[in-house]
Structure 1
Amino acid sequence: MNATIIAMSAAAALSLSCVHQKQASIKVPSHSQPALERQVQNAIEAGEGDLRIRELRQRMAAHPDDVSPRLELAKHYQGLGFSELALEHYRLAAERFPQSGEVHLKLAKTLRETGERAEAVRLLEAFLKRFPQTTPEFSSWLGILRDELGEWGKGENSHREALKLAPQTAYLHNNLGYNLLKQGRLPEAEAEFQSALKLQPESEVARNNLGSAVAPKGGEAILHWQSVSDPASAHSNMAAWLIEQGQYAEARRELDIALGYNRSHASALRNLELVSGLDGRPASIPVRPVLTRAQRWRAAVKRIFVGDPVESKGNAGYTASR
């Protein structure tokens, strides 16, 4: 876990929906020709004896209007580590089947995996303009991509569009909540995470994010984090957020608590090293009396409901998965 305890992620599902319209294809230019040429040669050498590749090529030749073997071949190349070659197959499929939502979503995801997020955004924007969808996956992924580019306002619009299409979908509320959290709109983010948990009470992602949204309330955030991890991780999360806020003394108190539960907790130790570099104090672990499990539990409850004997300030934080 990093000090920022951010884990972007996606829960958007794959859409198989298609709108059958005859319009010009959406062309996506290739920007990695040398890498592609190398991977083509490597694929030839590695795939000469690959019966699966041979079978898929034969199916493509026999059924040129069937998209399935093309997608299977691209996926197979991905599995072999030939990402640029797989990407080129998805591009060709997108040109041949301009109305296929499945093809364009796979192409957008592959562009994201290869670091070409801006191109993936342009691809999905153009596709949705020509072929409006009735399922939320496209708008959801467009929101995720915009979030990852730091375009939070546009990302919010995309997440809200996705929710209009499927308002009772937990991961869509979580994704919008994450976007709002990154914009600093904590009450709105909290409401979205609560909505996600009403729909999917077992969601650890939404529960973890809710803890970040209510971090200014201190103890409530600890309870949410602890419910999906352990006490040491929960206090380390709080410390990470405090470090981001520049509240180093408070962060050290949380790390003291975390390491009191587990002196070898990796994230807490990394956060201790981080805060040491920021406040100039040693990254030392205080020697404390050994407490029984019951004593530690009573002390934790007291901190949550009564407060730290030293001033404890409120804060907020974030993590997310998509």
Structure 2
Amino acid sequence: MTFYVAHRLFAAHDRALAAALADRLAKKVGADRVFLPFCDTDEEDLVAEVKGRRLFELDRDRLGRLDAMIAILHGPSLDDGVCMEIGYAIASGVPVVVLTTDFQTYSMTEAGTRLEFPDPLLQAVATRIVRVATLGPLPQLPAPGRSRFQGFEARNAAQTNTALDTAVDALLDLPDREPLPAGSPETTGAAIYVEPSPYLSRHMNHLAESLAGGGHTVVEPQRFTAPDPVAGALADLAAVRSAARLLADVSGPETPPGAALLIGAALASGVPVAAFQPYPTFTHAHGREPNWRNLMIQYAVDAHFSSEKAVLSWLAA
């Protein structure tokens, strides 16, 4: 089997955590069977005519020939590149283990179903979630000269080590994966699935209203309002994979996690994707072209629009 370690890339502590996970896994299965982005694409020193696109191509090539994925996700703002990679893997029939040390749980309403992640899609598609949410134990005898801060650091290190070891064991003991649900026959190949940005307004999907007013068959998300958000999430995934096109509002501090996951699933399923972002911001990295979103999002989509008029022209083409 070959394994893909999906992780946030942009800070040293994130890369170090992923490297520790990859090293533990490599000791069990062999280093040549583990792919660690940034490390194995030589991102720091890679030179290419369009570097971001080349990095996307290298990662997508590996996504197309892996047997299992382990993804690291923490906190309410989930990395959009990782979520896109999870969506691609799931739609390709690849099992995904998700690792988190987040001590929070989430729900759509105050008394609603508790979820490991703020978007039910992550809960719905993960083959296994490894959650180690508490610090390691207090040392029985404090080490001489150790400050309380060093003791707290040691408890966090113990928590991390437990999480990494548990995740590797889970990855090597994956169950057989059940097939993903198919889309509704009445919408297959005809509908435009419109994913709004929850950072703007979950209950006011202006894009969907505009498209429906233009005579298009529109499908909107169910998971945020369904009595069972996980079942709603699976219905959303099935609808995207059988839609004519996906239109995702990627507005926010980063692409919303559900939109990112659905973009990856659409890409793997051959569904054309457009990103809507009326107020783009750009990120910059050494030797790389400016990106208007995570490069895994930027190069996964077929088109990028900032106005509803442009979206309607794309659909009419």
TM bracket (short chain): under 0.3
- For the pair shown, the structure with the greater C-alpha radius of gyration is 1
Structure number with the higher strand fraction is 2
Q: Tell me the TM-score normalised to structure 2 length.
A: 0.25
